[in-house]
Amino acid sequence: MNREDEMRITVLAVPACPNSPVVLKRITAVLAGRAADVDLVEVRDEAEAVRWRMTGSPTVLIDGVDPFAWDGAEPSVSCRLYRGVDGRAGGAPSEEALRQALEAAG
């Protein structure tokens, strides 16, 4: 597989976001050795949030697409919550949600 063929995962987060390490750990676990280019990008202001299409911290982009986006979400440097299958909210998508998003992205 060429580097150009690798899946690109970008985690957008405000500086010192407590959920950035959580989501990065979950992404690593779900990838389980699968080739992917994973980056953390710190977003410091609203202009950068608009440019990156970050709708809260952390936002996960898979090949530039937010698989957890919802209609009407506006770019924001606020905290982001993810709803689990059990209905509970958390600061990062679950491993299962990430697994499904990665599979859907190919």
Domain that holds residue 48: 3-101
Question: Is the residue at 69 inside a domain?
Answer: yes
pLDDT number for residue 17: 95
Is residue 94 one of the residues assigned to a domain? yes
pLDDT at 94: 94
User: Within a domain: residue 86?
Assistant: yes
Per-residue pLDDT of the chain (106 residues; tens, 9 = 90+): 445 578 999 999 999 999 999 999 999 999 998 899 999 999 999 999 999 999 999 999 999 999 999 899 999 999 999 988 888 899 999 999 999 999 998 7
106 within some domain:
no
Instruction: Assess if residue 62 is contained within a domain.
Output: yes
Domain membership flag for residue 16? yes
22: domain CATH number is: 3.40.30.10
Report the number of distinct structural domains present in the chain. Answer: 1
pLDDT of residue 4: 57
**pTM confidence score:** 0.90
**39 part of a folded domain:** yes
Compute the residue count for the chain. 106
Q: Is 32 left (phi over 0), alpha (psi -120 to 50) or beta?
A: left
Which DSSP category does 30 fall into?
H
Cis peptide before 93 (omega within 30 of 0): no
Is residue 78 within a helix (H) or strand (E), and if so which, with residue range?
A: strand 76-79
